[in-house]
Structure 1
Amino acid sequence: MVERAARDPSLPDDWPAGPAAILSFNRVGSFDWDLDRGLMHLDRTAHQLLDLDPDTFDGRPASLSGRIPPIDAQRLDSRVAQAMKDGSAGYAAAFRIRHRDGLLHWVRTHARFLRDPTGRPRRIVGILRDAPETGDGPANRRTSIVQVATDALAHARTVQDVIDVLKDTRGLTHLGATSLVLGLVEAGRIRLVADGPAGSFVPATRVTRVDEPYPMSEVVRTLTPRFIESAEEFAASYPVLWPHLTDLEITSAAYLPLIAQARPIGALGLLYHDRYGFTEEERDILVALSSSIAQGLRRAMFYEQEKDLATGLQRAMLPRTIPAVPGADLAVRYRSASLGRDVGGDWYDVIPLPGGRVGAVIGDVQGHDTHAAAVMGQLRIVLRAYAAEGHNPATVMARASVFLHELDTERFATCLYAEADLSTGVVQLVRAGHLDPLLRSTDGTCRRLPVEGGLPLGLSAEFGRLAYAVTTVELDPGQTLILCTDGLVETPGADLDDGLMALTGLVEDGPRDLQLLADRLCATADDRGGDDDVALLLLRRLGVGAAQSGGRLQQRVPPGDPGALREARRMIRSAVAAWGAADRADEIELVADELITNALIHTEGPTTVTLRVLSGAERRFRIEVDDPSSALPRRRDAGAEDASGRGLLLVDRLADVWGVESRGGGKSVWTEFAVPGRTPPPSPGAAAGSV
């Protein structure tokens, strides 16, 4: 039938009207939001509804953030994120937008997700339309105001959110009130927390007692609303207060107790300059409104109390201070979730270790509750203990996983542990299901550091996969290692990889100062909001005055392997020659040989020999001999006929300094020699065991 009609020459060419024209006639606009590119296309009507200039709007939703009140933005973000997560086809929501004249206007949106074959949302398409009040009469308008205020109060998270709803230009003043006052009951007193408009504050009433002759005090005492229907009644009933209100030309007022769980928590006062008396319907509406306000305030007060408790508990679980680490600049930050009241399980830690080393930890326990915080606190302690005992990074992570598994909790944790030797710049990284770290170079460029990963803590013990791989990188002076939890990079509807790429860009564009950089990264997360907390740790190796490595060689010597022992001796001779320590060659070779021989004779298992040159205030040649025994070497006096017992005496006499470090299941005996000259890089062929 339509096709026949379309061929009728008497019909206009533009029949039937297209959907765009129909929508625009009804003040309905459309939008298409590309989530991958972060761009939003708006049609002409949508630009009008949002009061946007098409020539200046950059198409990015973030550009609207300053125009939408925070409480509405949080509610809208939460609605969209929840619909994405639960697989909904779309969503509907209402929010306020501030026009360029400063007034707020309500807009309603209906939208649908366009998903790829895997179910991931790629675009959001929908419509925008005005959300005017329903009904034309004054009573209907007032009823609508109560409904709008009740809906907005349902999403208020803080007391300030409640105040913002009450002072909104589309709020209580549409009931005809000239000004309002809001007070909260605290320890037998009423503390004024909001008043408006400017100039309506009455001196000496910021804090008043409940027994004073004021209308707010009266409604709190009696739990009964007080409706004042004339200026004469006001002056007669409250002679102390009335002289301060004469300039406002008040003709009537309504004071309402805010009652929650049968207890007064505050009072609301509405003052009018053009109203005389209140009808029963108007009184009922105001009482209903006071009930909604009281419930909103009660929720907000509980939320703030629980938020303070949760934040305090979280901070008590984190290190109170970060130790000063010679050779490193550090910055740490923690931010609790901007949405949700529960404490999180994110944490960081910095662990000073012997020999110019430092351990840096970032982690995230599954869940957002006090149990997650308790598990986090225990994990932080055991990780610190295992690292301080001298275990290598892989062992630290494996033991922590076993500990978490044996806690008999259903929680698991992701973690990244970095052990940095600040004298050499060698960093050993172990990752348990966590994000890769980032590395910022001295020229400001930033890149992701791929670290071979294992299962999260707890799960690796449960499935018997405790062998964590160690990734070794070199951290040059001035370079910065960036460790964070996923709350810093996660965005609803976006891949984690995309978030890491965005974070990389922020780091590159960020300030060089470590504290300012940490603040900027956290501010971005604060602006975005979200339901996850954030932990951040930045570690920069210092170059000026810090010891630097001229090279690092290592050789493993199993017991009963003469070939490996010969290679180790050859490596020592080559390093002494290549690194300009020939003046002390005999002493170095003798001491190194003695330490290796002692380890092979008196312990069971392989020995690892590490050589390096440290340059700083004094250039030093360092030898480390690691073995699996925890028994410490002992000096003893050898008799004339004894074949042994003189080894440590030689070490003590020939070396400038020596010592022993616990390494968990083993130990490291080290010694250093002061050597002159400049450190050349080791030749690639200097030793077969170089690393």
Structure 2
Amino acid sequence: MADQGARPGAGSLPDDWPADPGLGLALNRMGGFDWNLVSGALHLDGPALEVFDLREDEYDGRGESLLSRIPADEAARVNAVVGQAVERGTDRYATYFQIRCRDGAMRWTHTQARILRDERTNAVRVIGIVRIAHHDLADAAARNELDAGRRRLTEMVERTTTLLSHAETVHDVIKVLEDEEALGHLRAESVSLGVVEGTRIRLVAQGRNGPFATELQYTRIDEPYPMSEAVRNERPRFVTSREEFRNAYPLLWPHIEPLVVSSGAYLPLIAQARPIGVLAMLYPRHGDFSDSERALLVALGSSIAQSLQRAMLYDQEHDLAEGLQQAMLPRHIPDIPGALTAVRYRPARIGRSVGGDWYDVLQLPGGRVGLTIGDVQGHDTDAAVVMGQLRMVLWAYAAEGHPPATAMARAAAFLHELDTDRFATCTYVEVDLSTGGLQIVRAGHLDPMVRVAGGACGWITTTGGLPLGLAAEFAGDGGIDYPVTTGTLGPGDTLLLCTDGLVEEPGTDLGDRMKVLAEAVRTGPEELPDLADMLFDRLGTQGGGDDMALLLLRREARPGSSPRSRTRIDPTP
């Protein structure tokens, strides 16, 4: 058996094998030097002279002669490095420095050397190598750029995750995707979000590049699109060139072609082991995505998926509760002979659901009309259910002909018998449209307001009782009793009932806000629908996020009737 450690046959080796060390240095653009620190002589071999862009006849063997190639500040820096190594007693040094070539161009070089010392440890000689190092610096710059890009992407993922943690609705998630402090640092030409709806993907957001094409708003999961592919396979899809876009996705290519886009990342958004959406990012750059980029983008997709699922559940719960509450409000307001009415309602997004505000208008015999408005404590489905029950109870008692005080007392007893910890505030007003007579019963609610035809505007001063649900707890032997405030609504006068969501604002005194509302009513439009819209638009945007309900009734003026009201009001200052 042949000796496995034997040297190859001589015939298989070149004549100059093994290579002289000087040849190895020269082929790698490295040269050697020998520097006598005692005499100052500095020997440079041929490759070293090439590094300094010198010919042999241009160099006389003295270190000072290199100053024509080494700028003063660079020479000072190299001398400082060597001096520190000599003084500290170390036996080696290395440093980068620049030289000026024959044509004036600057060239990065690198030197490393060993320091030899005598028996008294004095440095007497330096032997080392010098080489061209511009490739080193280019590689370092590339690494620094890569590291900076990785840091930028990591910071973007962290920033986006922080913003997403505060997102409650799908709209909030979309706002994060459009936020320049979040995904703006992706340097993407376009960022799109699609949600899975059965067998289709619906685009719900596209930032940076304007609205999406109409034909791409809905696509099927089985169609040849990268979004569909990411959802089908439940794996990210990375497209690395315009050619790949054109060849792999011919249906998408007409929309990509006019864009400055050369690559794309499509991330399936998976929650509870099923895809609920997909995030698409288009880039102007050409080329593949590094492993670190892919890992960070996948982490980003996971964070968005969790937030999107939470937001979708929130929207579903809110829509269900809002639908329940809307179903419990009157489907329509009856036309009342002798009066004009307008109602408005706006749900709030507080917690996980909506509140319990309600209103009602009931036509009664004898030219009378009953008006109720109320607010059940809380912002959840239970509040909406209690609201619906109270509204129907008040409607039933009033329709049976019970006077306002009796109807309110029976509603309070009903809420107490429900054995719930909820309470409700409420105002019930009965208006005799033939005479303008008012009977007002208030259970912990806001006073009504009147805008006198052609005159002042203010709150009607009423005697109130405890909120429904609390009144029974403090009722005496005579049962629940609510006082009645009477007055007259003049022809052309407008009566306003509202819930506190229209006047309350965090950090603002309630009395000041009530004055603001009264002034807005006084100076507002004459037509009731316009007045209702203006109040919601002006005051509703300043509120504290509570539900808002508003009911307006105007007693129509008859020819020859007096416009003066005989109801006591506290006018706007």
TM-score (norm. length: structure 2): 0.69
Deviation at 1:491, TM superposition (A): 0.8
1:491 has 2:505 as partner: yes
Kept in 1, the 8 Å contact 2:557–2:563? The answer is no
| Counterpart contact for 2:449–2:496, Cα < 8 Å | yes
The one-letter code matched in structure 2 to 1:209 is: R
Counterpart residue number, 1:473: 487
User: 1:548 Cα deviation (Å)?
Assistant: 8.3
Q: Could you tell me how far apart the structure 1 residues matched to 2:254 and 2:486 are?
A: 77
Distance 1:368 1:203 in 2: 38
Aligned twin of 1:417:
428
| CA offsets 1:274-322 (integer angstroms, 9 cap, x no match) | 2422222211111111112212222222222222211111111111111
Q: Which amino acid aligns with 2:310?
A: R
Alignment of 1:24-63 (within 5 A): none
Q: Which residue type is aligned with residue 486 of structure 2?
A: T
Question: What's 2:92 paired with?
Answer: none
Aligned to 2:517: 503
Q: What is the aligned partner in structure 1 of residue 271 from structure 2?
A: 260
Residues 405 and 201 (structure 1), Cα distance of their counterparts in 2 relative to 1, 3 Å cut? closer
Give distance in 1, aligned partners of 2:357 and 2:197.
34
Q: How does 1:273-672 map to 2 (within 5 A)?
A: 273-465=284-476, 466-544=480-558
Q: Which amino acid aligns with 2:548?
A: V
CA contact 1:337–1:530 (8 Å) conserved in 2: no
Residues 549 and 285 (structure 1), Cα distance of their counterparts in 2 relative to 1, 3 Å cut: closer
Contact 1:338 1:529 in 2 (8 A): no
* 8 A contact 1:438–1:481 mirrored in 2: yes
Cα distance between partner residues in 2 of 1:200 and 1:454 = 55
* Separation (CA, whole Å) in 2 of partners of 1:551 and 1:231: 77
Question: How big is the shift at 1:525?
Answer: 4.2
Q: Which residue of the partner structure matches residue 167 of structure 2?
A: 156
Match of residue 230 from structure 1: 241
Q: What is residue 184 of structure 1 aligned with on the other side?
A: 195
Structure 2 unmatched ranges of 5 or more: 1-146, 567-573
Give CA deviations for 1:253-294 in whole Å, capped at 9, x if unaligned. 111111111111111111111242222221111111111221
Could you tell me how far apart the structure 2 residues matched to 1:551 and 1:180 are?
61
Distance in 2, Cα, partners of 1:366 & 1:389:
27
Which residue identity does 2:321 align to in structure 1? A
Deviations 1:143-186 (A, max 9, x none): 22222222222233332332232123333232121123322111
Flag the 1:291–1:432 CA change in 2: closer, same or farther, 3 A: same
Query: Structure 1's 302 and 428: CA in aligned 2 closer, same or farther, altered over 3 A?
Result: same
2:35 is aligned to none
Summarize the Cα distance change of 1:480–1:550 in structure 2 as closer, same or farther, 3 Å threshold.
closer
- More off after superposition, 481-490 vs 455-464: 455-464
Change (3 A) 1:441 1:286: same
1:338 Cα shift?
A: 3.8
Q: Structure 1, residues 184-230: CA drift from partner, whole Å, max 9, x if none?
A: 11111112223354478457333221111211111101111112223
Cα distance in 1, alignment partners of residues 302 and 244 from structure 2: 26
Q: Deviation string for 1:456-489 (max 9, x for gaps)? A: 1122122215221111111110111111111111
CA contact (8 A) 2:195 2:204 kept: yes
* Whole-angstrom distance in 2 between the partners of 1:373 and 1:445: 36
Length-normalised TM-score, structure 1: 0.57
Equivalent residue letter for 1:440: R
Q: Which moved more, 1:335-344 or 1:471-480?
A: 335-344
Given the superposition, is the C-alpha separation of residues 503 and 549 from structure 1 closer, same or farther in structure 2, using an over 3 Å criterion? closer
Query: What SS is found at the alignment partner of 2:172?
Result: helix
Contact 2:374 2:427 in 1 (8 A): yes
Residue 411 of structure 2 aligns with an amino acid whose one-letter code is A
Counterpart-to-counterpart distance in 2, 1:199 and 1:530: 33
Q: Are the aligned partners of 1:382 and 1:400 in contact in 2 as well (CA < 8 Å)?
A: yes
Assess, with a 3 A threshold, how the Cα gap between structure 1 residues 400 and 204 changes in structure 2: closer, same or farther: closer
Q: Which moved more, 1:232-241 or 1:245-254?
A: 232-241
Name the residue aligned to 1:610.
none
Kindly tell me: are residues 146 and 509 of structure 1, through their superposed partners in 2, closer, same or farther at Cα, counting changes over 3 Å? farther
Q: Tell me how many residue pairs correspond in the alignment.
A: 417
Q: What is the CA distance between 1:511 and its match in structure 2?
A: 0.8
The one-letter code sitting in structure 2 at the alignment partner of 1:415 is: C
- Identity, % of aligned pairs? 60
Once the two structures are overlaid, the 10-residue window that deviates more, 483-492 or 236-245, is 236-245
The residue aligned with 1:241 is: 252
Question: Is 1:208 paired with 2:219?
Answer: yes
Query: Which residue is equivalent to 1:651?
Result: none
Q: Tell me, in whole angstroms, the C-alpha distance in 1 between the residues paired with 2:420 and 2:268.
A: 47
**Pair 249,514 (structure 1): closer, same or farther in 2 beyond 3 Å:** closer
Would the alpha carbon gap of residues 268 and 451 (structure 1) be closer, same or farther in structure 2, given more than 3 Å must change?
same
Cα distance in 1 for partners of 2:221, 2:188 equals 24
TM-aligned CA deviation for residue 336 of structure 1 = 0.3
**Gaps in structure 1 of 5+ consecutive residues:** 1-135, 553-691
Change (3 A) 1:550 1:497: closer
> What CA distance in whole angstroms lies between the structure 2 residues aligned with 1:325 and 1:203?
46
**What's the offset of the Cα at 1:384?**
1.4
Give the aligned residue type for 1:391.
H
Asked if structure 2 preserves the Cα contact closer than 8 Å seen for 1:200 and 1:248, the reply is no
In the TM superposition, residue 432 of structure 1 has moved relative to its aligned partner by 0.8
CA distance in 2, matches of 1:185, 1:400: 47
> CA distance change for structure 1 residues 271 and 551 in 2, over 3 Å: closer, same or farther?
closer
SS in 1 for 2:300: helix
CA distance in 1, matches of 2:287, 2:436: 80
C-alpha deviations, 1:498-517, integer Å up to 9, x for none? 22112112112211111111
Q: Runs ≥4 in structure 1, deviation > 4 angstroms?
A: 196-203, 545-552
Against the structure 1 CA distance between its residues 448 and 196, is the aligned structure 2 distance closer, same or farther, given a 3 Å change threshold? closer
Q: Deviations over 1:365-403 (max 9, x none)?
A: 112222222221121112112112222221111111111
Give the counterpart letter for 1:356 in structure 2: G
Query: 2:542 is matched by which residue type in structure 1?
Result: R
Partner of 1:652: none
Q: Contact 1:423 / 1:549 at 8 angstroms: preserved in 2?
A: no
Corresponding residue for residue 572 of structure 1? none
Change (3 A) 1:407 1:544: same
Distance 1:213 1:235 in 2: 12
Q: SS where residue 258 of structure 1 aligns?
A: strand
Structure 1 counterpart of 2:297, which letter?
Answer: L
Contact 2:540 2:548 (C-alpha < 8 Å) held by counterparts: no
For the residue of structure 2 that corresponds to 1:137, the secondary structure is helix
